[in-house]
Amino acid sequence: MPVEETEVVVVGAGQAGVAMSEHLGTHGIPHIVLERDRIAERWRSARWDSLVANGPAWHDRFPGLEFEDVAPDAFAPKDKVADYFVAYAEKIAAPIRCGVEVTSVRRHSDRPGFRVETSAGVIDARQVVAATGPFQRPVIPPVVPDDAAPVQIHSNAYHNPGQLPEGAVLVVGAGSSGVQIADELRRSGRQVFLSVGPHDRPPREYRGRDFCWWLGVLGLWDAETPPQGAEHVTIAVSGARGGHTVDFRALAADGIELLGMTASYDSGVLRFAPDLAENIAAGDAKYLELLGAADAYVARNALDLPEEPEAHVLGPEPECVVNPRLELDLAEAGVTSIVWATGYATDYSWLDADAFDDRGRPRHRRGVSTEPGVYFLGLPWQSRRGSSFIWGVWHDARYVADHIAIQHGYLAHDPGSRPDTASPTQQS
């Protein structure tokens, strides 16, 4: 049977795959996007029911299309985000094949390009873009054994409070997922414990502008390397209930007991690091730093934005921060479930290429791999802080597509078409 051929295979049709298709299409480069589920599947099934986008609709979108039925300053519900990418794919007539899993990609040994094996047959491609996203494999740190009493799930499997058994819940991780899930569980009447690690918690809004705007004008989305060498800065933000600043003091006032980093487990008892006050203080310091930078920007540009002195007042630390609990007997506290909002890892087990370092991380520059013909997209900090977010991946996709187009030009070059200077016609 003849093998199908194309110039570029893009693996994954989340926002990264859709953006990639747009830019490849602009360059007129033949390509196929393969998606094992549906377009933007993660937004449909690997997020909790009440999730809305963390950024307002004017910001968390691609340049070429606005959300149809979400006001610019509102936060799109997760299914509308998925619908948006389906609409976008239709608008650009992206050649996406859904329900096709890529099982292996291997370089040809006897000619250029790659053999792409899929659940629906084989494709030969000159280039491959891994657009499978930054969040492929949920990570649960090996702290509590599987056979311990509480039900344990990762945040990607959390949908709503009703899915958890009656009783108190421990949420581990205080990035956007952890704080939003803890807040939802508390509001549903549960007793909630929240284990808080290092985080960034920008103000939702300051002086009338959303933090997405502030990060933009202050150039912080464009930061090229994570601060202090941290690979992934957890940003604790929320668009829930119309959007609000994540404030650990308010969460504690609502009855959530804050704990330090979850450290170890023994015979039904969890232990926590004595770092809660430090983590809260570091988050506060970054929050105040952003307010300071925003104020300086307003002054420098003589902007007429309303002052907001009350935003600088943080209030006293809650009792659970001043005297943190360092141990929790899960049965005694009635904890029947643990939600691990502890992030994700990548999974490139299908990609057989010399494109990874000794820790399995992609070796690349702005998505252009060290292995010629292999590209990555959607990686955290791929080119800047915004890379793994909706607006950022679109710009990274353009860079990767430009690189592919340049290579395409070289490969298409035919030296035989050079005018023959030695021909008699030209000599006369």
Q: Which residues of the shown chain bind ligand FAD in the complex (CB under 6 A)? A: 11-17, 34-37, 41-43, 47, 53-55, 60, 101-102, 131-135, 177, 350, 378, 388-390, 393
Shortest distance (Å) from residue 354 CB to ligand FAD = 19
Q: Give the separation between CA 207 and CA 298, rounded to whole angstroms.
A: 9
Nearer Cβ to ligand FAD, position 14 or 150? 14
Q: CB of 223: closest distance to ligand FAD in angstroms?
A: 16
Spatial distance between the Cα atoms of 335 and 166, rounded to a whole number of angstroms: 9
Report the alpha-carbon angle 133-135-137, nearest 5: 120
Name the residue nearer to ligand FAD (CB basis): 371 or 396.
396
Quote the least distance from Cβ 340 to ligand FAD, whole Å: 13
Name the packing angle between helices 390-412 and 15-26 (round to 10°): 40
d(CA 406, CA 7): 13
* Least spacing, CB of residue 86 vs ligand FAD, in Å: 12
Select 173 or 373, whichever has its Cβ closest to ligand FAD: 173
Q: Smallest distance from the beta carbon of 14 to ligand FAD, in angstroms?
A: 2
Nearest-10 crossing angle of helices 15-26, 78-91: 20
On the 0-12 / 13-18 / 19+ scale of CB atoms within 10 A, 85 is buried
Strand partners, 368: 365, 375
* Whole-angstrom distance, CA of residue 122 vs CA of residue 132: 19
Which is nearer to ligand FAD, 176 or 336 (by Cβ)?
A: 176
Q: Beta partners for 52?
A: 77
C-alpha–C-alpha distance, residues 260 and 358, integer Å:
31
Nearer to ligand FAD, 50 or 191 (CB): 50
Residue 380 beta carbon to ligand FAD: minimum distance, rounded to whole angstroms: 9
- Nearest to ligand FAD of 36, 204 (CB atom): 36
Q: How far is the CB of 310 from ligand FAD (least distance, A)?
A: 27
Beta pairing class for 102-107 and 114-118: antiparallel
Nearer to ligand FAD, 13 or 328 (CB): 13
CB of 320 to ligand FAD, least distance (A): 25
SS3 assignment, position 195 = strand
Q: Do the Cβ atoms of 378 and 393 come closer than 8 Å?
A: yes
Q: Are strands 102-107 and 96-98 parallel, antiparallel or unpaired?
A: unpaired
* Closest CB to ligand FAD among residues 6, 54: 54
Instruction: Choose among 80, 92, 77, 96: nearest CA to 37.
Output: 96
Closer of 98 and 148 to ligand FAD (Cβ)? 98
Element (H, E) at 90: helix 78-91
Distance of alpha carbon 138 from alpha carbon 156, whole angstroms: 7
Q: CB-wise, 54 or 127, nearer to ligand FAD? A: 54
Q: Least distance (Å) from ligand FAD to the CB of residue 238?
A: 10
Residue 170's closest CA among 292, 299, 272?
272
- Closest distance of CB 133 from ligand FAD, Å: 2
- Helix-, strand-, coil-residue percentages of the chain, each rounded to 5: 30, 20, 45
> Does residue 22 contact residue 402 with C-beta atoms inside 8 Å?
no
Q: Interior CA angle at 314 toward 169 and 174, to 5°?
A: 30
Residue whose entry in the numeric block shows the structure tokens 């952890």 = 178
Residue number with CB closer to ligand FAD (191 or 245):
245
Closest approach of Cβ 378 to ligand FAD, in Å? 3
Sign of the dihedral defined by the CA atoms of residues 293, 297, 299, 304, in that order: negative
